[in-house]
Structure 1
C-alpha cells in the first residue's frame, strides 16, 4: 500500500512540475527592443502626419482681425444671446470625402493633412477675407487596443500623433502572456482594411509603417505560446487531478 501511495505522490509532483515548466515564458518572449545596444543612438527617418479619412469629425475655426467678416465662415448652433457666442459645430467628412463649408460649399479634404487643409481653405477664402487664421483639430481621434493587455479598450488621443508604444501604454502595457513579436495593427483606409504586423522585440519596430498610428486604428496583441500551452493544459490538468483524486480515494478505501 505504501508503494501505491508513493506512486500517487510521484505522479502529482510530475504533474505540477510539468505545468510550471510548460507555462513559463523566456526573457526573449517578453523584453522590448532586445537588439538595441547600450548607448546606441538610432536616427529614424520614419516620419508621419495623419491625413483625413471618411467619417472623420473635425473642428474648423476661421478668424481674422475683423471678427464680423469671419462669422459667416463658421457654423454655430443657435444664435448669440447676451453677447455670448453659441457653440460651434464640427464637420463630418462624408462618403465622398467632402465637407459642406459655409459660403464655399463642398470641399474635398479626404487624404489631406491638417496643414494641407489649412492652405486649401486659405486659398479659397482669399476673395472674402484678408489674412485669415484657420485652426483645425481632429475631434474623433481614437485608437483601440485589444488582446493580451492589462486594460483593453478604446482610447481618445489628445494631440495629432500617437505611437503604437504610447497606445499600449494607455492600455497599461502588455501582460506576460502577450506575444510581442507579432503585434497586429488593423488600419482602415476609407473602407479598405490593411493588416500590418510589428515586432516590438526589435528596434526595427521604430521604422515600421504602423509605428505611428492613425485615427481609429486597432492594435491587437495575440497570446504567446506560453499562454496557449497553459490554456491547453488546463483541461489536461483538470482531468489528471480528477484521476489522481480518484486514485487517492480508492487507496483510502482499500486501506480502511
Structure 2
C-alpha cells in the first residue's frame, strides 16, 4: 500500500509540473499600455492624457516625392513657351509614382517641370508643400499642390506574425499601426523589449520601447519615421502553444497508463 502511495505521489508531481510548464505568460507581459504607476487595480481605469511627441519628420536627400499641381490658367504669356507634355505631366495623376516621382538631390532640391528647382531638404512635408506652392504661384494661377513621400517604407522584424518590409501611406503612423501591418506581435514576443532603429541624416538612433507601459505614448519613437526598422524581441522562456501542450498531455497519458499497468502487475 505504501508503494502504491509513493507511485501516486510521483504521478501527482508530474501532473503539477506539467501544468506549471504549460501555463501561459503573465498578463502583465502581454497587455498593451498598462498604467504601471497605479497602486490599485481601479486606479488603472482612470483616463490619462499624455503630451504627444512630434509626429513630423524632416525630408532629406534620396527621399522621393510625388508632386501633383493642378491650376486654372497661366498668369503670363511666357508659360506658353513650355511644352504641353510638361503641363500634362504636372496636371495628371501619376499612375506609377515610383517611376515618375521626384528625388531630392544631394543639394536638397527637387527639379519640377516648368516650376524648376525647389529646395525642400530639412523641412517637414507640410512646409515643403507650402514652398512648392509658392514656387508654383510664380508660374501658374491659383495652383493646388499635393505632395506625398512615396518611398516611405518600414521594416518589421523578429517575433511578429508576418515580418517584412511595408510601404506606408500614413505620414503619422504610430508603433501599434506599424505592428498591425505585420499582423501584430506573435505569442512568443517580448512586448517589453521592442527596438526601433532609425537612420536619418547619416545617424543611427536605437530606441528601446516597452509596449506594455502607457508611458510609451510620450516616447520620441512612438511615431514611426521613414526607413525605421522595428525589431520585436522573443521571450527568454517561450510560452507553450496549444499544439505543444497537446503533445505534452498525450505523453503524460502514456506515462499514466504505464504507471497503472505497473501498479496492476505488482499487486
How high is the TM-score relative to the length of structure 2? 0.69
5+ long unaligned stretches in structure 1 = 231-240, 242-247, 249-256
Alignment match, 2:187: 176
Alignment match, 1:237: none
Alignment match, 2:30: 30
Name the CA shift for 1:126/1:181 in 2 (closer, same or farther; >3 Å): same
CA distance in structure 2 between the partners assigned to 1:113 and 1:134 by the alignment: 15
How far apart are 1:110 and its partner, in Å? 2.0
Alignment match, 1:53: 60
Which secondary structure state, in structure 1, belongs to the residue aligned with residue 65 of structure 2? strand
Alignment match, 1:141: 152
CA distance in structure 1 between the partners assigned to 2:33 and 2:14 by the alignment: 35
CA distance in structure 2 between the partners assigned to 1:199 and 1:73 by the alignment: 55
Q: Verify the 8 A CA contact 1:73 1:102 in the aligned structure 2.
A: no
Q: Map 1:152-191; keep pairs closer than 5 Å.
A: 152-191=163-202
Q: Verify the 8 A CA contact 1:62 1:74 in the aligned structure 2.
A: no
CA distance in structure 2 between the partners assigned to 1:74 and 1:56 by the alignment: 27
Q: What value does the CA root-mean-square deviation take over the aligned residues?
A: 4.1
Aligned residues: 232
How high is the TM-score relative to the length of structure 1? 0.71
Alignment match, 1:210: 221
Q: Which moved more, 1:143-152 or 1:21-30?
A: 21-30
CA distance in structure 1 between the partners assigned to 2:93 and 2:229 by the alignment: 38
5+ long unaligned stretches in structure 2 = 39-43, 241-250, 252-257, 259-267
Q: Verify the 8 A CA contact 2:86 2:114 in the aligned structure 1.
A: no
How far apart are 1:168 and its partner, in Å? 0.9
Name the CA shift for 1:211/1:63 in 2 (closer, same or farther; >3 Å): same
Name the CA shift for 1:127/1:40 in 2 (closer, same or farther; >3 Å): closer
Deviation string, structure 1 residues 181-220 (Cα, Å, up to 9, x no partner) = 1210111103321111111111111111011101221111
CA distance in structure 2 between the partners assigned to 1:144 and 1:120 by the alignment: 31
CA distance in structure 2 between the partners assigned to 1:176 and 1:70 by the alignment: 63
CA distance in structure 2 between the partners assigned to 1:156 and 1:132 by the alignment: 29
Alignment match, 1:219: 230
Q: Verify the 8 A CA contact 1:61 1:74 in the aligned structure 2.
A: no
Alignment match, 2:132: 121
